[in-house]
Structure 1
């Protein structure tokens, strides 16, 4: 609050802009208007679900940003690969029951393209990781021997997402988690990119087979 002396127009009363003029005991004074602090309203159930989806997907994709750069490179003329991966997965990568939101792992995609995949894909659980195998033949199927296979595996209990690569003609790659995997919920995906990383295949989700003896 501030006092003021009468000027050419005298004192004023009432609101002028963001100040209020008043008078008390023959003293003219001005005071600022009280600003009401607005409390944020509680998000709706739909908004809460959307926010949770965003957090889940962001956290899941964070460790493999460079892989997404390759998998969605063909769609990045106006957006980053991570943003494309978000929009491509957002509508079908979740399961919602009541107020519980979880990732729909088989529906997740790490790439989008028309390059030949492989066929005969298998994911074999071992004592400390997973071996991913595929058909290495390329004759007449639109792939090249030096295409790179990107094998991605996620351990739910360890909360670890890892990716290993191998050339198409090698036909297999091993993803190590460095500890016992028995009883571990594991999800595996595979896609291919050509040697120039210009063309990519779609993502294949590969169910686990029985552990090796």
Structure 2
């Protein structure tokens, strides 16, 4: 790809000969036309494509949370971009049965805020999950008013439940009621803390798999 300054004819868009002109990030660019041929992806390339497809499919419903709470933007990379890179490297595996997420390594948030200590989750009647944790306010930048966020995923349905303001850190217990359609399903659960009205969050904690009652 090459860039060029406007001449007497200005920039151009579309195909001219064997090059294509376009505007990209405020610059005039030219690209050569792709070569046609019978290209076959290698096994490694196909494996990477499957991983990318799996990660994007899994993270897409969480993009709003990721764009708020996953680290800090780096140059042109958004928080969601950083989350995608992390999960491609660390949280997706190829098995004989297919490409799947490694739920224990999934992160819904990433930051320097103090996370969950002594976290527990248990299922109760009527699609309720009961959470418990230690009040670690005062450790690092943790304060009593930090908010607990919860993400629940039902793999069988490929559907999420999310709540970014369940309770404050000093509450030490909280309950969430899941949608009726999650009844009797095994779900994967993550939790974290964030500071209200900011993008400051903790590294999320994988709480484990729970069967909804």
TM-score, normalised on structure 2?
A: 0.71
Q: Tell me by how many angstroms 1:104 deviates.
A: 0.5
Alignment partner of 1:179 out of 170, 178, 181: 181
Distance change in 2, residues 1:142/1:173 (3 Å) = farther
Map of 2:113 onto structure 1: 115
Q: Is the 2:128–2:175 Cα contact (8 Å) retained in structure 1? A: no
- Retained in 1: the 8 A contact 2:147–2:196? yes
Q: Which residue of 1 aligns with 2:194?
A: 193
The separation in 2 between residues aligned to 1:52 and 1:149, in whole angstroms, is 33
| C-alpha distance in 2 between matches for 1:49 and 1:77 | 28
Q: Retained in 2: the 8 A contact 1:124–1:130?
A: yes
| Paired residues for 1:140-151 under 5 Å | 140=139, 142-151=141-150
Q: State the number of aligned residues.
A: 177
Describe the shift of the 1:210–1:104 C-alpha distance in structure 2 as closer, same or farther (beyond 3 A).
Answer: closer
Aligned to 2:89: 91
Answering whether residue 151 of structure 2 is matched by residue 152 of structure 1, we say yes
Q: TM-score, normalised by structure 1?
A: 0.71
**Alpha-carbon distance change, 100 to 180 in structure 1, aligned in 2, over 3 angstroms:** closer
Task: Give the direction of change, closer, same or farther, for the CA distance of 1:138–1:78 in structure 2 (3 Å limit).
Answer: same
Rate the CA distance shift 1:50–1:143 in 2: closer, same or farther, 3 A.
same
- 1:189 and 1:106 map into 2 onto residues whose CA distance is 9
Q: CA deviation at 1:71?
A: 1.7
Gaps of 5+ in 1: 1-16, 18-36
TM-superposed CA distance for 1:140, in Å, is 4.7
Larger radius of gyration: 1
Q: Hey, what's the Cα distance between the residues in 2 that align with 1:187 and 1:89?
A: 16
Instruction: State the Cα distance separating 1:192 from its structure 2 match.
Output: 1.1
CA deviation profile, 1:122-151 (whole Å, cap 9, x unmatched): 121234253333224525564112211111
Shift of 1:175: 4.5
Deviates more, 1:134-143 or 1:60-69: 134-143
